[in-house]
Structure 1
Amino acid sequence: MTASSFDEALKRVLVHEGGYADLPADPGGATMKGITQRVYDGWRRRRGLAARSVRRIGEDEVTSIYRAQYWDAIRGDDLPAGVDYCVFDAAVNSGPAQAAKWLQRAVGAAADGIVGEATLSAVRAAEPVETVDAVCDRRLAMLRGLKTFRTFGAGWTRRVAEVRETAAGMARGSAGRLQPPAVVSDPSTAPKARPSDLRLGRTREGAGGLIAGTGGLAAIVAEQADRLAPLAGFAEPLKWTFAALMLAGVALTLHAAMARIRAGESLA
């Protein structure tokens, strides 16, 4: 793809991310245009700059952070049209590693969370619209399993639906006929966001940042929830048989993880 793909994708992502927010229910904390204070502090620290409120983040900093931490991480310039935006938005909302795993499982590649040459080859061999649908299905299935879905679920559902429609249009080559993202010229006239429309702030990259109390155990839970998502398409008897087997595996994984925690070992 080209740099213009990133520019268009970023515009659409920023419409969903909105402006400044600092909500108790959001584990990401203070956030501006989807960038948390923690991420902004780290970005400025690595460049020898003094820390400051994320509310004062510059447009050039916003663009640089999104490109380096999300777009480049999922190899956006190497993905087909539509798939690039679909995976980019998922990476922003849920972390690049988790978005990469959704993509890899959608195309039958090894789900290691790193988009490399093997993944890109599998993506290019797949049908783009089907890939978009598969990624969005997995993404929404995992979001529905989070305890914060009750608060943020309506907004997440609308977001994934918009991403699905827009990305599919891009994949079909009809993105030019889609309506551009809404732009509010006068913020004072914009309707107030409802709590259910607010995005989930990210803490760490990857699935662990999606669950309150981030870390290795949270990442394991999210990973197992994602593995259960494809069962939704199975016939009823088979679905429950496979679900029972997989849940048993989840229980064993969590039991082992808790044992390691009690022993003082790291899950990283």
Structure 2
Amino acid sequence: MDRNFQRALSLVLKHEGGWSDHPSDPGGATMKGVTLASFRQYVKATGSKADLRKITDEQLATVYRRHYWDAVHGAELPDGIDYAVFDFAVNSGPSRAAKYLQAVVGVTQDGRIGPATLKAVRSKAPAGVVNALCDKRMAFLQDLSTWKTFGNGWTRRVSAVRAEAVRMAGSKPAPLPNGGNPPSSGNWLLAIINAILSLFRRR
């Protein structure tokens, strides 16, 4: 069911870091990417910043699953796309991540991933969806007023997400023979025959 949740969560946490209470961050105080508001919603209604700083792994997983993963139907998205949408949701909100995914696959952008969105997503090549989504995500981030403060980190994050999501989708291209240079004629059969003949000549 949630085959990729733990893997996706571990990847997200690599970018979220530890404690942060940056004055330029509209999310306010966060611990490993969990805001105080989310902590109070899913863990402890009266939680303080001190409580947030001591969040356990179990509590962390609960917040990420319920607030982000479930919100974007991560368990129902194809491999790779699930991680790309999940990370986008963590960074910029589930509704925005859903709308951008819907824009990529050409369905109504209502911010809620349902049967129509899932059907459209599954009809597309996963790597293409991942790349288009990451392109739109970068364009959105570059328009933010906080780009000068966080732009470099966001760029590294989206680049890493793109590479890993494509890998998860199983779309990493296989290496070509001859050091990546295919025969100019495009005749692969001839190339295979020549390779076999060269083996016999060595005997």
Asked whether the two chains share a fold, i.e. TM above 0.5, the reply is yes
Residue of structure 2 equivalent to 1:13: 12
**1:23 matched to 2:22:** yes
Does 1:73 find its partner at 2:71? yes
- 1:38 maps to which residue? 37
How many angstroms apart in 1 are the aligned matches of 2:11 and 2:164? 10
SS at structure 1 position matched to 2:78: coil
Query: Are 2:88 and 1:87 aligned?
Result: no
Give the deviation of 1:56 after TM superposition. 1.2
Structure 1 range deviating more: 73-82 or 33-42: 33-42
Cα distance between partner residues in 2 of 1:41 and 1:112: 27
- What residue in structure 1 maps to residue 126 of structure 2? 128
CA contact (8 A) 2:130 2:165 kept: yes
Q: Deviations over 1:52-77 (max 9, x none)?
A: 32101111110011001100110001
Q: Deviations over 1:82-120 (max 9, x none)?
A: 000000000000000000011101111111100000000
Counterpart amino acid of 2:9? Answer: L
Give the CA deviation at 1:41: 1.8
Q: Cα RMSD (Å) of the superposition?
A: 1.3
Bigger relative CO (Cα 8 Å, ≥ 6 apart):
1
Q: 1:51 aligns with which of 29, 34, 47?
A: 47
Tell whether the 8 Å contact from 2:2 to 2:74 is kept in structure 1 after alignment: no
1:189-268 matches, cutoff 5 A: none
- Distance in 2, matches of 1:13 and 1:41, equals 21
Quick one: distance in 2 between partners of 1:51 and 1:150?
32
Conserved? CA contact 2:84–2:162, under 8 Å: yes
What is the CA–CA distance in structure 2 between the aligned matches of 1:122 and 1:149, rounded to whole Å? 32
Equivalent position of 2:150 in the other structure: 152
Q: Does the CA contact (< 8 Å) of 2:36 and 2:47 recur in 1?
A: no
The whole-number CA distance in structure 2 between the counterparts of 1:173 and 1:132 is 11
Percent pairwise identity:
49
Alpha-carbon distance, 1:155 to partner: 0.3
What is the correspondence of 1:164-183 to structure 2 with a 5 Å cutoff? 164-172=162-170
Match for 2:47: what amino acid?
A
TM-fit CA distance, 1:37: 1.2
- Larger of the two Rg values belongs to structure: 2
State how far apart, in whole Å, the 2-side matches of 1:131 and 1:117 are: 17
Amino acid at match of 1:18: G
Amino acid at match of 2:161: V
The residue number in structure 2 matching 1:96 is 94
What is the distance in 2 between the residues matched to 1:97 and 1:58?
26
Give ranges in structure 1 of 5+ residues lacking alignment: 175-268
Structure 2 residue runs of 5 or longer lacking an equivalent are 173-203
Q: Distance in 1 between matches of 2:74 and 2:32?
A: 20
**TM-score, structure 1 as length reference:** 0.61
1:110 aligns with 2:108: yes
